[in-house]
Structure 1
C-alpha cells in the first residue's frame, strides 16, 4: 500500500494535477475502505468522504480537541457503530486531525498507510497555505504599488513616500522619472509583474503597475538616470518588446515625480504611435501643452472663474471629473473604487454647476483646459481681469501653438476633413462615417494616420483629443 501511495504521488506530479486534501482523502478511502475526514485547526471539516456525517464529527468533538491542542498525538475510540482513529497532522499547535473510521478496526497495513498519507496531507496543506500566503502577498504588493502610482498621479509625492512605511523605494528618491507603457496580453502582465518583483514588492529601482483601466497595459515607472543608462527595468521592457512580436512600448520624456500624470499621458501618446512602427517602440515627440503656453495671468483668471462653481465640491467630485476626461467612466469607477452610477452622479453635479455637457467634445476640452491651467503655479501680484475662452484662444501664443500642432496634417486633406467631422460628432466614429459617407473602418484608419502624424493618442479618451479640439477652434478664429 505504501508503494501505491508513492505511485499515486508520482502520477499526480507527472500529470501536473493539483494535489488537494480532498483528492488524497478520496484515494485513501478507496485503498482502505474506511471513511476519512480532515478536520482543521478550528474544528471545521476541510475534506471528507460521504460516510462521515456531521453528527459523527460532532460526537468526536472532545477527542478532536485533545489531539488538536497537543495533549495526545493519536487516539483510538468509538463513535456509535464506528471504530475511529484520530491522528494529529503536523507538530504546530493547534493541529489539524486525520479521522479514519470503519465498522471494524483498521488492519496494521491500512493503519500504516493512513499514517503515511497523514504526513503527505500535512505537507500538502502547508504548501497550499504557503501558496495562499504568497498569493495574498502578491495581491497586497500590487495594491501597494498601485496606491503609490495613484498618489504620484495626483502629484502627492509626500503621500507616496508615507505609504512606503519607512522603506522608501529608490524611485521615490529620483529627481525625474519616465513612464514606460507596455502593451501586452493581459495574462502576460500578471506574470511579468510577479516575475520581476523583488523581496520588497518593487522592481529594483523602478515600479511595475498593472493598469486598472486597460487590461493590456503594464505601467513601468523608471528613474531617469536608469533610463539614460538603459538600466535594469528600462532594458527589460525594451527586450520584452524585441522578443515578443505582440508587444508595444510607449515612453515619455523625463518629468519630476510630481508630474507623473503628464508623463503617463505622454507614454499613452507614444504607445499609440508605437503600434505603427516596425520596432513597436516610440518615445514621445509631441508638443508643449496648451495650458503651458497660454499667457499665465489671463489663463489663471479664466480657469479660476470657470472652476469656481465647483470650488466647494467634495474632493471626490474633483477626482471623478479629472479622471473622466482621461478614461472611460467604467475605468474611473475601478480607479476610485466606486460604482459607475456614483461616477455618473458626480459628473452630473459638475455639468449642472458649470453648465457643460461632458458628452460633447468641446465641453470636455474646455473643462480639461481649465483643470490643466489650474495646475500651473499662480503668479504673485495683482488680480487680472477674467477673459473669455475665445479671447484667451486668440492670443498670439495660442495661435502659434495651434498652427504648430496641426502642421503635420497639412498634406493630408482627407485626414483633416475626417478629424474635423469626428470632433463635431463628439468623437463618435459611427456618426462621423455617416456624415462623410464612408465606412467606420475608414474613419478609424484615418484616425490612426493622424495619431502617427501628430504623435498623439486619439482612439481612447484623453488629452490628445482635447488638444485637437482646441487647435481647430483656434485656427478657425485666428486672423
Structure 2
C-alpha cells in the first residue's frame, strides 16, 4: 500500500473514531512502532493514550518532552536501550502535544511522514474537542445568565437585570412592552431550540428563550413588542421571532404555545401568568395555539381600601418570618412544592420546612385549596400600590363581606358563565365538586360516580372555557374557588381581624 493510500486510510480512521486510541493502534499496525500521545493540555503532560505494547520510556525522556511541549524543540530522535524513540511536537500554543514512537529500527521516510500527519490530525481533533467544551461552557453560562435576567424581571427589577448584563445589555431590556410566549415542547428539545436561535451575545434577538426550572416541558420566551416608530428591521426581527414559535407548533404535534397580552417590562410576572393560562387553553385546542383573552381580575373589582385592609391584616403574621419563608410561601400558594424548589434552587425539604413556618404563623393549612386561594388573594392585594386617598379602617372587614359586594358578585357570575352553557351540562357541578374535594380527581370521581378520566376530561374543557390553567400549574384554581364561593353563597367565618377567614364546614359537602 502506497503513502497516498495510507493517508486516505488514516483520514478514514480519524473520521470514524475521533479518539486517539484507535488512531495510534492503526499507526502501530502500519509502521510497526509502538505509539503514545502526550496531550500538552493534560495535567502533568502525562500519556493520555498509547498502544498496549508501548514501553515505559517517557519517564526517561522527561527533559526532552518538556522542551518539546514548551516550544524549545520541534522534534527529536534518541535511543533508549535497544529502541529508537522519535518525538514530535504539535500545536501552535504551549504547552504543545507530543507524539512518541518507539521501534527497534528507525522509521522509514514514508512511515515518519505518516506519523507526522497523524499527529497533526490528532492535534486538530484535540483543539476541536476543547473548542466544543468551551462552546458548551459558554452556552451554559449564557443559559444561566438568561435565567438570572428573567428572574430579575419576574420581580419587576429591570435595573438589576441591566446590571447583570452591563457589558452587553439585551435588546429586550430596552423594550417598552413585552409579550410572554410560553412554549410547551419535549424537554430534550429545549436545549436544541435555545441553541439554534441564540445570537452571538447569548440572547435571542429582541427576546429570550429561558428553560423553566419548575416545568421541564416549558420554554419561557419573553419577546419585545414592536412600537410604531421602530425601525423596519426591528419590527421584522420581533415578528419573525414570534412567527418561528408558531411555525414550530404547526410542524410539531407535541408542541403548544400560549401567548400573553402586551405588558410593561416591569409587569413580566403578570404576562407570564397570562401565558400559563393561555397555554392551558392551547393544549386543549385543535391548533395548539392560544392568546390570553383578558377578563377582569377579582382584585380589580373589590373595594380597594377595604380589601387592602383585610389583606394586610391577613398576611401581617408572615412579615415576622424570614425573607425566604415569605418568598417560598408566595410561590407555594400556586405552584407544587417540587416546582417551588426548582424555581428558587433550594431543596424540597427546605420548601416544606418554610411552608410549615408560614402555616403556623398564619394559622392556615396550605394543603387546603381554599386556604391557598385565600392567602393568594391577600398577597395579590398587598402587592398593589397604596391608595393615597384611602382612609385607614379601624376594623378590617372579613373576606365574606368583601366577596359579597355587588362588584364581586357580578364578577363571579360573569367568570363562571361559560360553564353554564347548555352544551356543557354538569360541567359547573363537576368543578364545584372538585373544589369541594380539595382538587382530588379520584375523590371527586367517587363522589359523582364517574371515572377519574371523565373528571379530568371535564376539567380540561373547563380550562378552555374559563381561560385558566387548572391542571398543569394550577395557577387558575384560585379564581374558580372565589367565584364558586360567591355564586354559591358560601359563608365565611372569621374573628373580625381577617387573620383566619374560613369557609364553613358545610362548604365541604359534595
- Check whether the contact 1:68–1:96 (CA below 8 A) recurs between aligned residues: yes
Cα distance in 2 between the residues matched to 1:228 and 1:450? 36
In structure 2, list runs of 5 or more residues that go unmatched. Answer: 228-233, 492-510
Question: Which residue matches 2:9?
Answer: 7
Answering whether residue 403 of structure 2 is matched by residue 393 of structure 1, we say yes
Question: Which residue matches 1:62?
Answer: 63
In structure 2, the CA distance between the partners of 1:341 and 1:33, relative to structure 1 (3 Å rule), is farther
What is the total number of aligned residue pairs between the two structures?
475
In structure 2, the CA distance between the partners of 1:119 and 1:437, relative to structure 1 (3 Å rule), is same
Cα distance in 1 between the residues matched to 2:86 and 2:235? 67
- Check whether the contact 2:146–2:210 (CA below 8 A) recurs between aligned residues: yes
- Within a 5 Å distance, the mapping from 1:434-445 to structure 2 comes to 434-445=446-457
How far 1:323 sits from its partner (Å)?
Answer: 2.2
Answering whether residue 411 of structure 2 is matched by residue 409 of structure 1, we say no
- Check whether the contact 1:251–1:267 (CA below 8 A) recurs between aligned residues: yes
How far 1:326 sits from its partner (Å)?
Answer: 3.3
- Within a 5 Å distance, the mapping from 1:238-317 to structure 2 comes to 238-317=246-325
CA deviation profile, 1:129-183 (whole Å, cap 9, x unmatched): 1111111111111111111111111121111111112422221111111111112
Answering whether residue 478 of structure 2 is matched by residue 477 of structure 1, we say no
Cα distance in 1 between the residues matched to 2:81 and 2:316? 79
Q: Which runs of 4+ in 1 moved over 6 A?
A: 226-230
How far 1:433 sits from its partner (Å)?
Answer: 1.6
> What SS is found at the alignment partner of 1:311?
helix
Q: 1:383 aligns with which of 392, 417, 425?
A: 392
Cα distance in 1 between the residues matched to 2:170 and 2:243? 19
In structure 2, the CA distance between the partners of 1:90 and 1:454, relative to structure 1 (3 Å rule), is same
Question: Which residue matches 2:143?
Answer: 142
How far 1:246 sits from its partner (Å)?
Answer: 2.9
Answering whether residue 473 of structure 2 is matched by residue 461 of structure 1, we say yes
- Check whether the contact 2:325–2:354 (CA below 8 A) recurs between aligned residues: yes
Question: Which residue matches 2:109?
Answer: 108
> What SS is found at the alignment partner of 1:71?
coil
Q: 1:47 aligns with which of 31, 38, 49?
A: 49
- Check whether the contact 1:250–1:269 (CA below 8 A) recurs between aligned residues: yes
Cα distance in 2 between the residues matched to 1:79 and 1:116? 24
Question: Which residue matches 1:133?
Answer: 134
In structure 2, the CA distance between the partners of 1:122 and 1:350, relative to structure 1 (3 Å rule), is same
Question: Which residue matches 2:242?
Answer: 234
Of residues 225-234 and 424-433 in structure 1, the stretch that sits farther from structure 2 once superposed is: 225-234
In structure 2, the CA distance between the partners of 1:360 and 1:29, relative to structure 1 (3 Å rule), is farther
> What SS is found at the alignment partner of 1:390?
helix
In structure 1, list runs of 5 or more residues that go unmatched. Answer: none
> What SS is found at the alignment partner of 1:165?
coil
> What SS is found at the alignment partner of 2:476?
helix
Cα distance in 2 between the residues matched to 1:276 and 1:95? 59
- Check whether the contact 1:272–1:451 (CA below 8 A) recurs between aligned residues: yes
CA deviation profile, 1:30-52 (whole Å, cap 9, x unmatched): 33343332222241333333334
How far 1:342 sits from its partner (Å)?
Answer: 1.4
Give the superposed CA RMSD.
Answer: 2.3
Cα distance in 1 between the residues matched to 2:159 and 2:13? 54
How far 1:67 sits from its partner (Å)?
Answer: 0.9
Question: Which residue matches 1:213?
Answer: 214
Question: Which residue matches 2:499?
Answer: none
CA deviation profile, 1:400-431 (whole Å, cap 9, x unmatched): 22111111111334211221121122222222
The TM-score normalised by the length of structure 2 is: 0.87
Q: 1:360 aligns with which of 363, 368, 388?
A: 368
How far 1:80 sits from its partner (Å)?
Answer: 5.9
> What SS is found at the alignment partner of 1:278?
coil
How far 1:437 sits from its partner (Å)?
Answer: 1.7
Cα distance in 1 between the residues matched to 2:49 and 2:322? 50
How far 1:57 sits from its partner (Å)?
Answer: 3.7
The TM-score normalised by the length of structure 1 is: 0.92
> What SS is found at the alignment partner of 2:222?
strand
- Within a 5 Å distance, the mapping from 1:15-30 to structure 2 comes to 17=16, 19-30=18-29
CA deviation profile, 1:170-207 (whole Å, cap 9, x unmatched): 21111111111112222322222111111111111111
